[in-house]
Chains A and B, each alone.
Chain A
């Protein structure tokens, strides 16, 4: 129906990437029909030939003698899994990922030896009793079942991004078929979970005998497709690619029982090989009579025909390389993802072979879920001896790749599929959530070795949960930050670093850097030359790596200004813009920042404001939702509790400690679960409470001519309230959440934004770097100084020291040198005077 417009497009794509199967001039004859493929360009000099030609002298070793048990040609015909009759000129393409399927003979369930029954597949009556040798798969039933599945399966609750734009109430896979006919990309991805929910038995067969069942599926799908869209043109026949086999395994749990089964594992790509042309079908030509024949490769071997069937000459057949059929193959090494690993062991690796169009689909560093067939091949020590090393080589023939981090770029709840919780784990978590004191429990479970600092732990707990992500990009405001940023500052030795270390160890995607050791590029991204490929690649830094996690930055104060300025964008817009070496891009960095800073004078000076103590630009400070002071309280009761806590650390056994606190693993799961499944929304009362809270905060200040809250603070309050609702596993933000958010915010404010001169909370310390009283005081001093100078009459120049002493003598309050300097600067700004060295001159 569709095609003239769409198919060439599809084909062009096929050519631009690697042509999946190298077809040499005559291969269209393979299926006896060459009408449609005639337009394929002959490729006389292919790289494949070049690569293989050195092997030519060794032909003898390459071609072993025919295996005695299975004469190739006969079995070819007997297999029911031949890619049937070609569908109106569309060639079938071999599936090296499934191995040599054509070798599977059918057997009658009741007769023991594999009988050679050629035409059985077509006779459906007799076929009912027949199964493929070694399995319980009956081709006819299996095909029928799968066609029924395709025609009927509906999944109204589907949330996968593949299904975007499809009508969920119509049969899902029929829509996909339609898509194939339009787009011309003959690949059909089938979610195994769907198969399972539709027909558990079919699913079991698919898992246990993928090598036989998947070709059956292919057959079924193609029949259905060409029935529906008889006019459409495809480059080759549709291939079924199942994914998401429910038995998703970690690499560690693979064992010999999984051999030859369909498995899905997750991991990280660490190496990819170059493209390897693998021979699929050898082309032989008789040297005597030029008769040609084709032999399919079986288990890596080619059975060289000993006798020419045409002229009966023995050993006259020679392999013609550039008329043989090759397919692309690539070796990929996968390593366990760090999250799946037990402590104290090294990660395992597995070899994966990708075939045809799956080649070059993944790059080193990608996190992928791979569905494929697990294989084991015995290793031969010496080709001339039959002595074998008793070890198998294992690999996975990939059928389907699914990148897990690709989704992170556009998807939202990315961890949903990665981390699956068992039923009873969810149950325990829910029980825990139902407890009234869950918030306290969790916060005390956080870093139990660190003493007290309850509010700080609560703040960090809320940071771990984070707010709800809101998307206003439709209205042009972009994403709202959901992450809570926290700054800890305080005396050295108050276990700030320990808290950071703990958090870093707790979250799956945490990064830990020290301000002293990190540079701007280390935090963001840098361009470097890949030593292997010699291409420029973008290497991501700590902030990008901790996307959706927490970036812990120790010694925040020691960071250079240059580096710190990078954080501005990250901490509010949650993106990183990079423009260097020809790469201009914007990366997501939805990371929460947990920073720790030491006071400038190494000891916290209680007589100074936060700004003065840590000397950070207030533009940056205002981006922290909570700023906590970690100070030594220095009172007796506290000391006693602290001493008790520390001493008990040194003599309690591990078990005793564990009884008291929640397990770290439970906490981890709890957080992961809440982050994935809970996204609370504001309730009516809660929004009222928030509005009131905000108005109150503004009021406090306005009474004294100060502003004590800005919209940023309102946003922080909302985030904190949402996080608190998440802690309770509640889908609704209620008043109690707002109350706690308010309390925590106030506590943090009280500690960090208290004006040491008045004792009042003053948010303007954070937003302008100077408290309102200090600003007022500065103005007063400037005015007093002006008066003093005016009183002195017409003296164009004055001594600096003299003036300071005079002012001090006149004023009732103490005038520090800094204050005096600031007043002078203020007057200089008014163009009233200038200061040169130690003299002050009046201007006209």
Chain B
């Protein structure tokens, strides 16, 4: 039944069936587990997927191209019989042969193209888990079996399902179906044989524009037919759509440098780069015609994918009660990882569940950038710490702040006007991605202009949770929601919301030994899964402060100021409120209690006293 795109795209346009067909798909996908049956571009190699079939893609909007006009409805003339047929151009890239351009029935419609890439920094465990949960088994066998038989069976199936379509139309499009289907099969075979080779060869000269270096996976041109204003750059989506890999699209790219460029003056205006970016070979960057897309709140496969809110709240309620106990386990584990420092472990948990939940004019609330200073530099401890974080959160990125990296990396996305696209940078990340900055890698030397710009961009990201994309003639501000963790020896050169100095309980001489025996949880252990669920759920909880607690917080603040006005500033109160909020959430409480507030005050006091101590020891700390 998921091969019905062809049926959908070829019927009479006037009956309003389009809306109904999309509705039908949406309803079907809402049914229990139905969405797991749809093969996903993320885990199935493209040459195993049938063209013009329904697929899904978990992706991230990296760039938005210009809207395009296409032939929504057009008429073709059969050269032999002169018979005219009305056809639908929706959900397709290429028209049938013999288009009559002067037909009065042509309807021009508009659609939007998004350039989508897999979610940047998505950790291997997430990918694996999603792949395992998929029930769409597109093993080679189904694809190698001549699929003709099967497909026709399925189409019959569709017919019965689709009561919405009037009888007449069904008959009308039964005719033209067989030749196209044949065509489709041809495509399929071609894909199988050619795709692997073309992928290896052409990937080298085509930059797929992933935000993070070393990423793999398909990128996709997603064609959006309705409501495109509701999507924003850097959104995470799960797109359900019709896969189009028509070789005709690639043909365009091949032949343009031959004769066609001279023939059509409009075509030669576009630069070769632009052509390459906007019309890459379909075998490499397939087109996906969107039927329906779901905005993802998170990309944690262990949580229900939020199909309905009731399901979700039931799930939340069930985990809520377990949260305190999971928190204890996680705390113990992180304490172990952080060389026996329980306070730092506590702060790390708070950091991992932080989330910008609202913006007050320019001020993002809820962010909690942590600067973990005093990291030992032996035995690549910081990298090991990252590996552990990587196992806990769905997406993360490690950025070693070495001088070379800072001077050479492109952090801020930049518009390339020659190719007319947004060249991605490492700071173009989806929401709640953990960005791990390793400052222990920094050595002495000089930052050049790029380096200064990169450091400024990181500073802006931390202070305002926004990245100013470079549009050459102007900058454009894109809000983001990235959890930044800075590991450093001394105090970081970047601003942070909170600095905690690591106090190891392990003697430096034993450090190597300790690290080598450090207990890493096995990849799929149930404990690790519990932690993963815990961290994601804590982020989704609602939070409130009752009037009484508000009052007592105010009193506390006034009292503290009375004793010593220098001891606490408005900024400190800001931080304490964030800590209190995160502390409550980490315990599964959705409103601030007096106890949590006191506890927040307490750990803040501990942290500050540690800072004081540290300042005394080092003397030269600012």
Chain A positions near chain B (C-beta within 8 angstroms): 55, 58, 61-62, 255-256, 259, 268, 270-271, 273, 276, 278, 300, 329, 331, 333, 335, 338, 341-351, 364-365, 376-383, 385-395, 447-449, 451, 493-495, 497-498, 501-502, 505, 514, 517, 632, 634, 636, 639-640, 642-644, 646-651, 653-654, 657, 664
Contact = CB atoms under 8 A, between A and B. Distances in A.
Given A376-B69, A392-B108, A632-B569, A448 B269 contact: no
B1 interface: no
Given A390-B94, A505-B362, A255 B110 contact: yes
A268 B365 CA distance: 35
A300 B260 CA distance: 12
B50 interface: no
B544 interface: yes
Contacts of B544: 651
A392 B68 contact: yes
B553 A389 contact: no
Interface in B383-411: none
A648 B94 CA distance: 56
B108 A381 contact: no
A647 B600 CA distance: 14
B562 interface: yes
Contact of B570 (A351, A495, A501): A495
A300 B108 contact: no
Contacts of A447: 361-362
Contacts of A451: 570
Given A632-B569, A647-B553, A517 B456 contact: yes
Most buried by B among A386, A390, A632, A647: A390
Interface residues of B, number: 82
A390 B92 contact: yes
Interface stretch (B124-132, B248-256, B290-298, B533-541): B248-256
A650 B452 CA distance: 34
Query: Could you tell me the dominant secondary structure of chain B's interface residues?
Result: mixed
B259 A383 contact: yes
B343 to A, nearest CB: 23
B94 A498 contact: no
Please give me the 10 A-B residue pairs with the lowest Cβ-Cβ distance, nearest first. A344-B232, A449-B360, A256-B108, A643-B557, A643-B554, A651-B545, A392-B69, A390-B89, A501-B362, A331-B269
A341 B74 CA distance: 33
Most buried by B among A498, A632, A643: A643
Given A346-B63, A351-B269, 18 more contacts: A256-B108, A270-B473, A341-B476, A346-B422, A381-B251, A382-B252, A386-B97, A387-B97, A390-B74, A390-B89, A392-B68, A393-B267, A449-B363, A493-B571, A494-B570, A647-B554, A649-B577, A650-B578
A394 B70 CA distance: 10
Nearest to A503: B362
Contact of A390 (B70, B418, B472): B70
A644 B98 contact: no
B360 A649 contact: yes
B558 interface: yes
A349 B66 contact: yes
B266 interface: yes
A348 B550 CA distance: 47
B471 interface: yes
A555 to B, nearest CB: 12
Most buried by A among B360, B472, B562: B360
B94 A381 contact: yes
A27 B263 CA distance: 25
Interface in B59-118: 63-64, 66-71, 74, 89, 92-99, 101, 108-110
B98 A386 contact: yes
A469 B98 CA distance: 65
Interface string B544-575: 11000010011001100110010001110110
Contacts of B232: 343-345
Contacts of B262: 55, 58, 61-62
Contact of A391 (B69, B473, B581): B69
Most buried by A among B74, B89, B358, B558: B558
B97 A385 contact: yes
Nearest to A641: B554
A271 B74 contact: no
5 contacts: A376-B69, A390-B74, A391-B93, A392-B70, A393-B266
B24 interface: no
B420 A349 contact: yes
B263 A382 contact: no
A395 to B, nearest CB: 7
A842 B433 CA distance: 73
Given A345-B232, A346-B63, A642-B570, A338 B476 contact: yes
Nearest to A60: B259
Contacts of A350: 66
Nearest to B67: A348
Nearest to B259: A61
A657 B360 CA distance: 9
Most buried by A among B64, B93, B95, B543: B95
Contacts of A58: 259, 262
A363 to B, nearest CB: 11
Given A338-B476, A383-B263, A388-B99, A647 B94 contact: no
Contact of A256 (B109, B543, B581): B109
A390 B360 contact: no
B95 A390 contact: yes
A639 B561 contact: yes
B464 interface: yes
A448 B360 contact: yes
Contacts of B94: 381, 387-390
A640 B554 contact: yes
B69 A338 contact: no
Nearest to B114: A346
B472 A391 contact: no
A646 B570 contact: yes
Contacts of B259: 58, 61, 383
A497 B232 CA distance: 28
Most buried by B among A62, A256, A268, A364: A256
A61 B557 contact: no
A256 B570 contact: no
A523 B422 CA distance: 27
A120 to B, nearest CB: 24
Nearest to A351: B269
B356 to A, nearest CB: 13
A383 B74 contact: no
A502 B362 contact: yes
